[in-house]
Amino acid sequence: MKLLLTSGGVSNEALRAELVGLLGRPIEEATAVCIPTAMYGHPYAGPGERVWEFVAGRSAQPMVDLGWRSVSLLELTALPSIGGERWRELVRLADALLVSGGDALYLAHWMRESGLLDLVPELGDTVWVGMSAGSMVLTPRIGPEFVGWEPPGGGDAALGLVDFCLFPHLDHPDLTENTRAAAEEWAAGLGHPAYGLDDDGAVVVDGDDVRVVSTGTWCRFG
């Protein structure tokens, strides 16, 4: 997969341009699948009105409302009960997966349980557009500071599909605890390289190319 790992969605023209480059076509010609599962594991994000806002493209984090040719909805918690033949081809054919924020460990759990994680090796040309937890889920660890929903085995391990960690919403005005100093302390205990991103940046992964695109504030640790 190609990865656009954002903190706050596709929030500016620089990130939109990166997305178009990863897709290899205009957004208006591309299809997307919206995955809101992480929101249900977070007490602030869902369930309820915020999940609907994200799915309907009415949230403050632009992802669903970018002008896609079509957007489908995939709720991972439902997949074990309906069988893979009902949804795998939908994912294979999509140009992009739009993965919401919420709780990263809850999302990691349901990616395993649903079988979506097993499908990832087949998605070489698909663009994963993550927002906050939807980006952190691909990292080796989220850090104990971000553990909310606790997986059956405990710990803070995510999926480890990339070799770096992410601290989202750096210096966010509504999250006064998300300071540079807090990010440095978080990164010191991880044992992996790490990035701190405000809501105007992303880590882009395209093959062996890993780079940060930002019109705001970001930092790298390790």
The predicted-structure confidence for 80-94, as pLDDT tens digits, reads as follows 999 899 999 999 999
Query: Residue 174's pLDDT is what?
Result: 82
Q: Is the pTM for the entire model greater than 0.75?
A: yes
More confident residue, 34 or 48: 34
HEC-encoded secondary structure of 67-117: CCCEEEECCHHHHHHCCHHHCHHHHHHCCEEEECCCCHHHHHHHHHHHCHH
Query: Residue 44's pLDDT is what?
Result: 86
Cis peptide before 47 (omega within 30 of 0): yes
- Kindly report the average pLDDT of the chain as a whole number: 96
User: At residue 131, does pLDDT exceed 90?
Assistant: yes
Query: Residue 199's pLDDT is what?
Result: 94
Query: Residue 81's pLDDT is what?
Result: 95
The predicted-structure confidence for 185-212, as pLDDT tens digits, reads as follows 999 999 999 999 999 999 999 999 999 9
Distance CA 110, CA 207 (A): 25
For the domain 2-221, what is the CATH superfamily, name and number?
A: Class I glutamine amidotransferase (GATase) domain (3.40.50.880)
Give percent of the chain with pLDDT exceeding 90. 91
As to burial, measured by CB atoms within 10 angstroms (0-12 exposed, 13-18 middle, 19+ buried), residue 170 is buried
> Average pLDDT for residues 9-27, to the nearest whole number?
98
User: At residue 161, does pLDDT exceed 90?
Assistant: yes
Instruction: Count the helices and strands in the chain (H runs, E runs).
Output: 8, 10
User: At residue 175, does pLDDT exceed 80?
Assistant: no
